[in-house]
Every structure is written in C-alpha cells, then in structure tokens.
Amino acid sequence: MAAMNPDARLEDQWRNILSVHARTMCEIDRELHPYGLGASDFEVLDILASGTAAQPGAQCRVQNIADRVHLSQSALSRLIGRLERDGLVERSLCEDDRRGVWVVLTTKGHDLHTEVRPLQRAALARMLDDEA
C-alpha cells in the first residue's frame, strides 16, 4: 500500500480538527440555547468567572477577553453588548486609558454561569471523548 502524501495527511488532520470544533460548538449551542446563551456567550462568561476575574466584582479588560476567544473585535463587542443588555455583565471605561473598556460579571451573570457550566462541561466531555 502506498504511503499517504504528507500534505494530504496534514489536510485530513486539519479538517478533522475543524469538524470536531464545529460539532462541539453546535452541541454546546444546543445545550445552552434554553438559557439564552450560545457557546461564545458562555466562553466570555467563563473567562470572567475564572482566573483573576473570579472574585465578585473583579474586572477584566475587553482586550484580555479578545486574546482568549476566537471572535473579531467587532463580534466580541456586539456579544458583550448583548450580555450587558441581558444584565449578565457590566461595562465601564478604564480610568487610566480611555481607549480601554472593563467588563465585570454581574450577580445574575455569575448565577447563570454557575447553573450552565455543568451542561457545557458535559457537552465538552461527550464530544471530546468521542474523538479520543
């Protein structure tokens, strides 16, 4: 049997990664839809609820969120605006740098994140265990 072309192998691996990502995002969207969230919405809430932003009222710069999610700056801005309208986050301007914007998780956002996090993690486990 002839060996597979290295380029074709890389393309197959890449397409598999994209396929797993797309299926996983769709599964998370499906699980979170009844809560008014999508996978990207949850990702922003999860970033705000973890790490240095884990303390109630702790702020995170939008740029720090942008570095961790795979959305354009304008898409992230619209998403944060939607989360703000839903009362899940609050935005404010940075005092030191007027170009910067802070985002903080509200109590409502924290509570919703806590409620749906097990659903998101279960979807991840189902989808990624299938690939192992």
Which tens digit of pLDDT belongs to each residue from 47-104?
A: 999 854 445 556 788 888 988 998 998 999 999 999 999 999 999 887 776 678 889 9
Query: Whose CA is closest to 35, among 123, 130, 126, 125?
Result: 123
> pTM of the entire structure?
0.84
Examine residue 109 and state whether it is found in any structural domain, yes or no. Answer: yes
Q: Is residue 1 part of a domain?
A: no
Indicate whether 26 belongs to any domain: yes
Largest CA distance in the chain: 66
d(CA 50, CA 37): 18
Q: Read off the pLDDT of residues 69-80 as tens digits, 9 standing for 90 and up.
A: 989 989 999 999
How many structural domains comprise the chain? Answer: 1
Domain span at residue 88 reads 6-131
What CATH number is given to the structural domain containing 43?
1.10.10.10
